Amino acid sequence: MIAAAALAIVTVFGIASWRYYQGDSSASPPKTAKERSALARESDLLELQASQQQLIDDIQLLQGRIASQQYDIQRLSEELKAATEALSSLRNAFAKDGPASHRADPPPAKKRTP
């Protein structure tokens, strides 16, 4: 899902960049309203490109965190499985031997003297 969002953002900004570089890039100051408007759009585009790069960086950071969390989940899952198997083994051993074999012998009964 994150990768799809990143792809969509990159595509939109790629198209915007292509349109920007296809326009007239004269170095003289804008004289008409149309030229001023184009200059404002150019400025907006640069801001948009900076925002795009920030989003890409954020997405990459999130992907790294997700990968790290997935690794931790897998490791913890394996540890839990091993602990469950050990507990099951202990339970089976206890059930096989019976509870009496795990208790200490009771102390001998005391004799009463009259």
How large is the average pLDDT for residues 2-6?
Answer: 69
Residue 59 near residue 5, CB atoms below 8 Å: yes
Q: Are 8 and 52 in contact (CB under 8 A)?
A: no
Residues 6+ apart with CB under 8 A from 5: 59
Report the predicted TM-score, pTM, of the whole model to 2 decimal places.
0.46
Confidence of residue 65 (pLDDT cuts 50, 70, 90): very high
